[in-house]
Amino acid sequence: MFRFKAFIILLIITLFSSANLLGQNTASKNDIIERIIENIAENSDEELDYTDLVEKFNELFDNPINLNKASKEDLEELHLLSDYQIQNLIEYRKESGLIYSLYELRFLDGFSYSILQEISPFVNIQIDSQKIKPSQKSRAKHFILIRSQRTLENEEGYKSYNFEDESPTSSEDPAQYMGKEWKYYTRYKYSSPKKDIEFGFTAENDAGEPFFKDVNSEGFDFYSAFAEYTGKGKIRQINIGDYHLKFGQGLSLWSGLASRKSTFTTQNAKRQQGIKSYHSTDENLFFRGAAIRIDPIKNISLTAFSSFKKRDANIENNLTQSINNSGLHRTENEIQKKDKLDEKAWGGTLLFKLDQIEFGTSFIKSHFSPELISKTDDITKIYDFSGDGNYNLSAYYETRYNKIHLYGEIAKSQSGGKAILQGLNLQPHPQLSLEVIYRKYDKNYQALYGNAFGEQSGTQNEEGFYFGAEFHPYPKWTILAYYDLYEFPWLKYRVSSPTTGRDYLCQIEYNPTKEVSIYFRYKDEKKPENSNDEIIKTPIDVSKKQYRLHLSAKLNENWEIRNRLELSEYNKTAKESGYLVYQDIIYKHSRLPFTTSIRYALFDTDSYNTRIYAYENDILYAFSIPPYFNKGSRFYLNFRYKFNRSASLYLRYARTQYANSKIIGSGNAEISGDTKSEIKLQLKLSF
């Protein structure tokens, strides 16, 4: 009851305080990144790598898209506009000529004030008469990023290691960390003057991993490199080294991060990205080898690829018992699993493009050595992939007719399992968008690089209908909503029988002026989970609810604030609750080249079940999405100093203090005390 009263009081204070805010447009890249990442984190228990996503929006922010010259593919790179909006913008440009103001698009069907605020940080308006100065002419660009970070408190994993003679205190304990507390990250990228050639590398060493010694005598634990050529002739692209492949709707061939249900309620159709150079730090879900795209004749595109890499795995009796995707090699146990599995993959895609329709096919063949075996003692995993090889064959299409956008894909795996996804996006009114998605993924469909729309992280054992809506009833108001009804035909983790579930979301956004953005969100999810009974595991419905009020505003050209109040409820056999309140202050000096941001947060939840995820501003190209749970406070400070156009220094300090715990974490990550803090340092060079 106290939590609810506190929430109401803070809600009233926030609403009244927003009435007198003055300043500039509040839209920023962080708001967009926050919306996407928080929704992904809330719906996944995995530790995902958001580097590519964060980098994409930072690059768009630094190099905005010119709306007077942007192609359809350029506008799709924003991932913020629907196909209907893109089509209307291009037609408007053809009929009216140059665009002189972003806000003249407000009168186009499908565009609202809030949409223009969202895209404004990533676009600009330039006309041909604006001559390019000599200093602005294309030139080769070099980009260097050096980062290190560590947890300041001592974790259990380091305590039994003697770093002076670089050996474990006890030779019989293979679970102790073999390296020191610092994590190291280095990245280099070169872009040619015409931007048709790019190459670079990434090197990472996680905290606790040996650095320039033992198994990492050559330096870092993980290296990644790429080279990419893009042309305008028949050979459109060549990639050598590490790369991603993203085709269709993700049923068979979509490596890396993919967005899921979010407040982008009517923009769930995947935009085909093709071959993308890889410069992230996920050590598993990418391809290593070569890929090429050829356009032999008009409207036809052909892609071929070949890949070979080693993956971490648990090998026993020359059989792969399991694949380890953590990418961590800190202990003897983890090091023994490093690079034990050979993975070969090859395949290709064929795409036909006509005026109003695109049709494509893709094929991928994978081979593993030693072969994988299924866990016969776990009935929930009997349909998981096993063997020494797999293939996926799929066909996908996309078509537009007036205000209707249809898209879909159908796929089959070597096991005989099938997967299908069909989507419809409709614009029945200039200020109303609707989307319907049906998906059906067989329990025995196996796609090792599948990453399609759905409730689960794997494209398997799921059938469901999704309904999304976006409505702009008045110029300053937006209503976003979705409802998703799904079924799991077979058993899954912590669910011992076929079950159904549903979730829905509603968000109301209000932009009273260009300076203020406020939204309220309600999310309700009901999903089955096994009961706590030790003998009979019967699935029961588990209810999760979230209430959020968020305010973003710029007070003037120097100051920006963000406030959030959020409640979380969880009900399995007993009701649990929690709340999070935070205040962000962002300051940019007018004359001195520095920027700083501060957050102070208070949280109190009954358990991890009522955890609340909140995206945090971080240093450039880094990310932080911690789950707030238990009771305590969190503080962080980010600082950036720009020495000149070529060099910038970034610092971050974050500290969490718990009020009801004297031990944080468990196992090797356990910290004795009630405080956990972290420091990050980064240097960026570009010339």
* DSSP conformation letters of 260-312: -SSS-TT--SPPP-EEEE--S--SSSSEEEEEEEE--STTEEEEEEEEEEEE-
Q: What is the spatial distance between Cα 585 and Cα 591, in angstroms, rounded to a whole number?
A: 19
Q: What is the mean predicted confidence (pLDDT) over 22-31?
A: 48
Q: What is the spatial distance between Cα 115 and Cα 118, in angstroms, rounded to a whole number?
A: 5
Give bridge partners of residue 677 from the DSSP assignment.
655
Q: Phi then psi for 115, rounded to 5 degrees?
A: -65, -40
Tell me the pLDDT tens digit for each residue of 664-683: 999 999 999 999 999 999 99
Number of domains in the chain: 1
Q: Residue 28: pLDDT band by 50, 70, 90 thresholds?
A: low
Q: Residue 451: pLDDT band by 50, 70, 90 thresholds?
A: very high
Q: Is there a domain that residue 106 lies in?
A: yes
User: What was the pLDDT predicted at 111?
Assistant: 82
User: What was the pLDDT predicted at 354?
Assistant: 86
Which stretches within 100-225 are classed as H helix? Answer: 113-119, 156-159
Of 392 and 353, the structure prediction assigns the larger pLDDT to 392
User: What was the pLDDT predicted at 19?
Assistant: 40
Q: Is there a domain that residue 92 lies in?
A: yes
| Full domain range(s) for residue 118 | 65-128
Q: Phi then psi for 138, rounded to 5 degrees?
A: -60, 140
Q: Is there a domain that residue 120 lies in?
A: yes
Of 619 and 109, the structure prediction assigns the larger pLDDT to 619
Q: Which two tokens stand for residue 267?
A: 């923009």
Q: Is there a domain that residue 492 lies in?
A: no
Q: Is there a domain that residue 212 lies in?
A: no
Of 580 and 474, the structure prediction assigns the larger pLDDT to 580
User: What was the pLDDT predicted at 44?
Assistant: 60
* DSSP category for residue 624: B
Tell me the pLDDT tens digit for each residue of 145-197: 999 999 999 999 987 655 555 555 444 566 789 999 999 999 999 999 988 99
Q: Is there a domain that residue 323 lies in?
A: no
Q: What is the mean predicted confidence (pLDDT) over 428-456?
A: 94
Do 668 and 160 form a contact (C-beta atoms < 8 A)?
Answer: no
Q: Residue 71: pLDDT band by 50, 70, 90 thresholds?
A: confident
Do 75 and 69 form a contact (C-beta atoms < 8 A)?
Answer: no
| Residue 166, Ramachandran bin (φ over 0: left; ψ between -120 and 50: alpha; else beta) | left
Residue 136 has pLDDT above 90, yes or no: no
Q: What is the spatial distance between Cα 585 and Cα 596, in angstroms, rounded to a whole number?
A: 8
Q: How far is CA 402 from CA 28, 114, 427, 467, in A?
A: 32, 23, 9, 21
Q: Is there a domain that residue 668 lies in?
A: no
Range name among 150-154, 200-204, 271-275, 287-291 with the lowest pLDDT average = 271-275
What's the pTM? 0.88
How far the first Cα of the chain sits from its last, in Å, is 57
Q: How many CB atoms lie within 10 A of CB 383?
A: 19
User: What was the pLDDT predicted at 49?
Assistant: 67
Tell me the pLDDT tens digit for each residue of 622-651: 888 889 999 999 999 999 999 998 999 999
Residue 206 has pLDDT above 50, yes or no: yes
Do 247 and 349 form a contact (C-beta atoms < 8 A)?
Answer: yes
User: What was the pLDDT predicted at 2?
Assistant: 47
Q: Is there a domain that residue 221 lies in?
A: no
Q: Residue 23: pLDDT band by 50, 70, 90 thresholds?
A: very low
Query: In this structure, which amino acid lies at residue 665?
Result: G
Q: What is the spatial distance between Cα 292 and Cα 550, in angstroms, rounded to a whole number?
A: 45
Q: What is the spatial distance between Cα 251 and Cα 446, in angstroms, rounded to a whole number?
A: 10
Do 511 and 481 form a contact (C-beta atoms < 8 A)?
Answer: no
Q: Half-sphere exposure (CA, 13 Å, Cβ side) for 174? A: 7
User: What was the pLDDT predicted at 349?
Assistant: 98
Domain CATH number, residue 100:
1.10.150
Q: What is the spatial distance between Cα 101 and Cα 99, in angstroms, rounded to a whole number?
A: 6
Q: What is the mean predicted confidence (pLDDT) over 354-359?
A: 88
Q: Which two tokens stand for residue 436?
A: 């319907």
b/e map 666-678, b = 16+ CB within 10 Å: eebeebeeeebbb
Residue 17 has pLDDT above 60, yes or no: no
